Structure 1
Amino acid sequence: MQKRHADVVIIGAGTAGMTAYRAASRAGKKAILVEGGPFGTTCARVGCMPSKLLIAAAEAAHTARHTAAFGVHVDGTIRIDGKEVMQRVKAERDRFVGFVISDVEGFPADDKVLGYAKFIDDQTVQVDDHTQIRASSFVIATGSSPFAPPELQAAGDRLIFNDDVFEWDDLPNSIVVIGAGVIGLELGQALSRLGVQTTLLNRSDTVGGISDPMVREAARKAFCDEFNLQGNAKVTATELVGNQVVVHYEQNGNAQQVKADYVLSAAGRMPNLKKLSLENTSAVLNEKGMPAFDKNTLLIDNTSIFFAGDVNHLHPILHEAADDGAQSGKNAAQWPATPEPVRRRASMGVVFTDPQIMRVGAAYRDLNENEIRIGEVDFSSQGRSRVMLKNCGRLRVYADKSTDRFLGAEMLGPAAEHMAHLLAWCLQMQLTIDQMLAMPFYHPVIEEGLRTALRGARR
């Protein structure tokens, strides 16, 4: 057993871990990065990038099928080659992962230890059976993993997660997706557009995390018109029948079932904590093994351990994980100085469906309707959207009644990813509705729809 010492040990070499390592190293401290799995972040390997590659292929197929309205007729059958689709997804995915691996390879060899770390005590971790490292402080950045509810377990090898999709060599004929959150909606719609018979089951009537009832209804209509999205569908059991899986579910008191080649669990993700043996530290753990920690500084109570990235289950988004890692690495390097809080940017979230979904700042559910003014726009009649035949969706913006300050927005519609950035910048600058309306709006652009909604909020 090799015995080593460091100022800071970072467990996990994803986005948060790599950023924490750089921050601690820049502070002049000896930092050791421990990784038990393959290098390459969740985003690059199984998340943001491969999913967008699949979505891009799906958008190409969808566009090719819907040209006639423009007077452009594509003669013959649109042929989707699943093997070619997945070949590009994997090749480009590997390219993105390669950039991350190249970064890690640039770290000094002495600063990297391969294997799974577990805590022996508050100041010591053991990596597999070969290395013990004693340090003044630690950063846990082990990320999260998808999980499947118990009622899906009987599906056996026909039960898959988003990670598995990006290892396919070809597309299946059919799939059942469980969960209408970000992952379920994005993959469900993409696979449907690529010719996979897709059924998406969600236990509630929510769609993509939308809380505004008018935006949510617009989303339900848009997606239900395109593929088989079933809300208020509670899965009760699964069973294997030959080479397929049968998913049993209840909907409005009626027993239903659907058969497919695979069932994809997009029911959520769990923090990767089991292998860490946090019970050997002074951390206070709940019944799920989650430690109590300061949500501002990310310091685990009673310890010198910081909790960064998806593992803390606060803001499971890449740029938030990077911010977590940067501040945690700095705080760990300065230990035992009082840690500084993570400087949060204006919150936003985007779902890369078509139409896209976005939320900025306060969601509808977070607000008291008696204290706000709401402005909205229906994109069915918005000029540029109609030009492009992307005229679907609704934007609702929320402003404080007393101060006129912009508070947040929810949207389903075209170019929502760009609208999200525009509104997030306004929110971070603490602009009022009048100040936002004083900004320039070109013509004809989708952003003119935002001006309509802002004018409604001002009235």
Structure 2
Amino acid sequence: MQERLVDVAIIGSGSAGLGALAQVRAAGRSFVLINGGQPGTTCARIGCMPSKVMIQIAEEYYRRTHFGQFGIDGHDALSLDIPEALAHMQGLRDGFVSGVISRSTANLPPDVFIQEPARLLEPTLIEAGGQRFRARALVIATGSTPLIPAHWRQFGDQVISTDQVFELPDLPGRMAIIGLGTIGLELGQSLARMGVEITGFDQIEQVSGIADPEVNACAIELMRREFVLHLGAPAEIEPDGQALRVTAGGHSVVVDKVLCSIGRLPMVEGLGLEALGLPLNARGVPPFDPHSMQVGDLPVFLAGDVTGERQVLHEAGDEGRIAGYNAAHVDEPPQRFQRKTPLYINFCDPNIIAVGARFNEIDRGRSAVGEARFAAVGRARVMGQNRGLIRVYGERDSGRLLGCEMIGPRGEHLAHLLAWSIERGATVGELLRMPFYHPVIEGALKTALLDLHGKVAGHCPGPLVESALLEAG
């Protein structure tokens, strides 16, 4: 079979693959983009965007439960047309997907956008759609796929993945969520607020990956106000008439459907990564440098969810750009780029965030913790959302802010403020000399920083913690 020569081959046209493509095109390199799945990104089709629409629908409907305290009558008469709500979500989702496609692959000619599965024959020899491509460099950005244990697949469409939940035309009356990481917790709360009888299961005593035990305990307590949680024991499924029975640690419930959200695996099946000649880890992924995305010393680069590591959109985009840049300049030593401060947001209500170093990553002997509860925060009380806890971590000797974990209102905005501060190496004292308006949710952060300030060094000069002296002259 004849081989077609290209500078760069990119496998996968999601967020990471498109990020790589932008760099390859900017460098003027020839390329082929190969995509064996549906066009569009995980975020737009089955991830960030449809889940946020469902969360928004659930939040808007749930607000009726608080109308009475504000003197708003008639809230008991409100109802939710679930098929119409799901159709609204699916319509927005389709718009997001078509927008991505129109801005990226829609105008690519078929000889450079191959919509067929790819398979490696050699590290830079790829077969797809009955063609072979010899590339000077390769970017692998095939994404991830939801994990459903093989013995649960016997239940057919009664056990669904997070990829499938957004295709439902209606919702069942009873549902179990197995796996309470970010997406499991978000969907569990949203579905419960939309009227589904939800029972959540996770084999560990933890939700949303929260490492801080105090924040985790607070999150569990708040989520249990809205739906049943069974934690600390693995779940098993068995048939129960036309329904399913889910059992874990002595707890048992009969449901109509199970949503399996126990994680996502790198999408490498059938890709032939054995052709790289390198050892593969348990998930089938070769070793790579996270700063250059290079696989071993090969002209091959990974990017995005396929790495099995930072599976969020902004990281996938960064990795795609890094991989694409190095692939486009493969004749030069690969550039190693600084990775951004880790930033994770769970959009359940209240938001759960993790920024910078997690609680289990800090050196407790060299670090200190400051905290504040939202119960007394004026703005949160006005909003009727005064629940949650923020914990901030700082280095004792320098006063440098290291990280934060939190469950609290509007955490998505605090998360960015904290990430930008940590990225710039800000100290607790420097942050306290920034303006804090009143009343705002950021008041909780100020209280936590004040608590931390007394436990760390690196204080700013002057008699007042929150105000700097004018320079003389």
The TM-score range, normalised by the shorter chain, is over 0.9
Q: Counterpart in 1 of 2:34? A: 34
**Matching residue of 1:436:** 431
In the alignment, the residues of structure 2 paired with residue 288 and residue 324 of structure 1 have an alpha-carbon distance, to the nearest angstrom, of 19
Unaligned residue ranges in structure 2 (runs of 5+): 455-473
What residue is the counterpart of 2:417 in the other structure?
A: 422
Which residue matches 1:52? 52
1:401 deviates by: 0.3
Among 305, 325, 329, the alignment partner of 2:300 is 305
In the superposition, relative to structure 1, how do residues 8 and 54 fare at CA in structure 2: closer, same or farther (>3 Å)? same
Shift of 1:168: 0.8
Return the alpha-carbon distance in structure 1 between the equivalents of residues 131 and 111 of structure 2. Answer: 13
Deviation of the 1:212 alpha carbon: 1.0
Q: Structure 2: how far apart are the matches of 1:24 and 1:135?
A: 13
Q: 1:400 corresponds to which residue?
A: 395
- The question of 1:269 aligning with 2:264 is answered yes
Compute the displacement of 1:131 (Å): 0.9
What do the CA deviations read for 1:113-155 (whole angstroms, capped 9, x no partner)? 1101101112210004x11101111000000010023553343
TM-score, normalised by the number of residues in structure 2: 0.93
Partner residue in 1 for 2:215: 215
Runs of at least 5 residues in structure 1 that lack an aligned partner in the other structure? none
1:287 Cα deviation from its structure 2 partner: 4.7
Query: Secondary structure of the residue that 2:204 maps to in structure 1?
Result: coil
| Secondary structure in structure 1 of the residue aligned to 2:270 | helix
In the alignment, which residue of structure 1 is the partner of 2:177? 177
2:246 match: 247
Q: 2:317 aligns with which of 289, 304, 322?
A: 322
Give the secondary structure class of the aligned counterpart of 2:348.
coil
Opposite residue 242 of structure 2, the aligned amino acid is N
Deviation at 1:302, TM superposition (A): 4.1
2:275 to 280, 301, 306: 280
Match of 2:442 among 443, 447, 457: 447
Alpha-carbon spacing, 1:76–1:290, altered in 2? closer, same or farther (3 Å): closer
Find out whether 1:102 has 2:102 as its counterpart.
yes
Q: Secondary structure at the match of 1:234?
A: coil
**Aligned residues of 1:207 and 1:216 also touching (Cα < 8 A):** yes
**Distance of 2:282 and 2:406 partners within structure 1:** 37
Runs of 4+ in 1 over 4 A off after TM superposition: none
In 1, distance between residues paired with 2:327 and 2:203? 41
Q: Which moved more, 1:282-291 or 1:171-180?
A: 282-291
Counterpart residue identity of residue 452, structure 1 = T
> SS of 1:290's equivalent?
coil
Q: CA deviation at 1:74?
A: 2.2
Letter in structure 2 aligned against 1:214: E
Number of the residue aligned with 1:354: 349
Counterpart mapping for 1:197-236 below 5 A:
197-235=197-235
Matches within 5 A, 1:10-89: 10-89=10-89
Q: In the alignment, residue 312 of structure 2 is paired with which amino acid?
A: I
Secondary structure (helix, strand or coil) at the match of 1:396 reads strand
Q: What do you get for the CA RMSD once the two structures are aligned?
A: 1.4
**Counterpart check, 1:338 vs 2:337:** no
What SS is found at the alignment partner of 2:10? strand
In 1, Cα distance between the equivalents of 2:97 and 2:338?
28
TM-superposed deviation, 1:108: 4.2
- Do 2:123 and 2:275's aligned partners in 1 also have CA atoms closer than 8 Å? yes
Checking the alignment, whether the CA contact within 8 Å between 1:174 and 1:198 is kept in structure 2 is yes
Q: Which letter maps to 2:159?
A: L
